[in-house]
Structure 1
Amino acid sequence: MTTATAPQTETEAKPVLSELSLGFSPCPNDTFIFNALVHGLVPSPGLGFTPRLEDVETLNRLVLAGALDVSKISYHLLGHVLEDYLLLRSGGALGRGCGPLLVARTQLDPARLKDRPIALPGEYTTAALLLRLFDPSLENLVYLPFEKIMPAVADGSVAAGVIIHESRFTYQGLGLTKLVDLGQWWEESTGQPIPLGGIVARRSLGREVLLALEEALTASVRHAFANPGAARGYIRAHSQEMSDAVCDAHISLYVNDFSVNLGAEGETAVRVLLERAAQAGIMKPGSRPLFIS
Structure 2
Amino acid sequence: MITEKVLIRVGHSPDPDDAFMFHALANDKIETDGYQFVHELQDIETLNRRAFDAELELTAVSLHGYAYLTDTYAICACGASMGDNYGPMVVTRQPGTIADLKGKTIAVPGTLTTAFLALNLCLGGKPKTPSRESHVSGDAGTFKYVVYPFDEILNVVERGEVDAGLIIHEGQLTYMNQGLHLVVDLGKWWMEQTGLPLPLGANAIRKDLGPQAMQEVTKYLRESIEYGLDHREEALGHALKYGRDLDDRKADEFVGMYVNDWTRDFGPRGREAVARLLEEGHKAGLIPNPVNLEFIAG
Q: Please give the TM-score of this superposition, normalised by the length of structure 1.
A: 0.90
Name the CA distance, whole Å, in 1 between partners of 2:98 and 2:277: 22
Find the partner of 2:82 among 88, 94, 109: 94
Query: Could you tell me how far apart the structure 2 residues matched to 1:106 and 1:91 are?
Result: 36
Question: How far 1:44 sits from its partner (Å)?
Answer: 2.4
- Distance 1:187-1:49 versus aligned 2 partners, 3 A rule: same
Name the SS for the 1:50 alignment partner. strand
> Secondary structure of 2:249's match?
helix
**Greater mean deviation of Cα atoms: 142-151 or 237-246:** 237-246
- Structure 1 SS opposite 2:205: strand
Whether the 8 Å CA contact 2:222–2:264 is kept in 1: the answer is yes
Matched, 1:64 2:52: yes
After TM superposition, give the deviation of residue 233 of structure 1 in Å. 4.0
Which residue pairs with 2:206 in the alignment?
202
Alignment of 1:79-118 (within 5 A): 79-118=67-106
From 274, 277, 282, the equivalent of 2:281 is: 277
CA shift for structure 1 position 14: 7.7
Give the match for residue 48 of structure 1. Answer: 36
Contact 1:102/1:160 (CA < 8 Å) preserved in 2? yes
Aligned to 2:27: 39
Q: Give me the whole-angstrom Cα distance separating, in 2, the residues matched to 1:174 and 1:16.
A: 51
Of the candidates 161, 165, 183, which is equivalent to residue 187 of structure 2? Answer: 183
Q: CA deviation at 1:277?
A: 0.8
Please say if residues 77 and 296 of structure 2, whose CA atoms lie closer than 8 Å, have aligned partners that are also in contact: no
> How many angstroms does 1:147 deviate by?
1.2
| From 135, 139, 142, the counterpart of 2:143 | 139
In the alignment, the residues of structure 1 paired with residue 291 and residue 170 of structure 2 have an alpha-carbon distance, to the nearest angstrom, of 35
Aligned partner of 1:248 in structure 2 is: 252
| 1:5 alignment partner in structure 2 | none
Instruction: Assess if the C-alpha contact under 8 Å between 2:11 and 2:59 holds in 1.
Output: yes
Q: Deviation digits for residues 16-66 of structure 1, max 9, x if unmatched?
A: 542011001121111111111222322323211110011111111211232
SS in 1 for 2:238: helix
How far did 1:87 drift? 0.3
Residue among 135, 139, 161 paired with 1:157: 161
Alpha-carbon deviation of 1:97? Answer: 3.0
Distance, in Å, in 2 between the alignment partners of 1:177 and 1:193 is 23
Distance in 1 (CA, whole Å) between partners of 2:222 and 2:184 is 33
| Deviation of the 1:286 alpha carbon | 3.9
Q: Which runs of 5+ in 2 are unaligned?
A: 126-140
Using a 3 Å threshold, how does the CA distance of structure 1 residues 227 and 16 change in structure 2: closer, same or farther?
A: farther
- Is residue 104–residue 178 contact of structure 1 (8 Å, CA) maintained in 2? yes
Go from structure 1 to structure 2 and tell me whether the alpha carbon gap of 1:232 and 1:273 turns closer, same or farther (over 3 Å shift).
Answer: same
Map of 1:21 onto structure 2: 9
**TM-score relative to the length of structure 2:** 0.89
Superposed CA deviations along residues 203-250 of structure 1, whole A, max 9, x for unmatched, are 111000000011111111111111112224432333364322221121
**Which has the higher mean CA deviation after the structures are superposed, 232-241 or 248-257?**
232-241
Gap runs ≥5 in structure 1: 1-12
RMSD: 1.8
- 1:57-95 Cα offsets, whole Å, 9 max, x none, are 111121123221111111110101111111001112114
**SS of match in other structure, 1:43:** coil
Q: Deviation digits for residues 76-128 of structure 1, max 9, x if unmatched?
A: 10101111111001112114133111111112233233232111111111110
Q: Letter of the aligned partner of 1:215 in structure 2?
A: K
Aligned length: 281
> 1: CA distance between counterparts of 2:4 and 2:254?
34
- 1:130 correspondence with 2:134: no
Shift, 1:143, TM fit: 0.8
Are residues 1:170 and 2:167 paired? no
Q: Tell me if the contact between 2:170 and 2:243 (Cα under 8 Å) persists in the aligned partners.
A: no
Change (3 A) 1:150 1:92: same
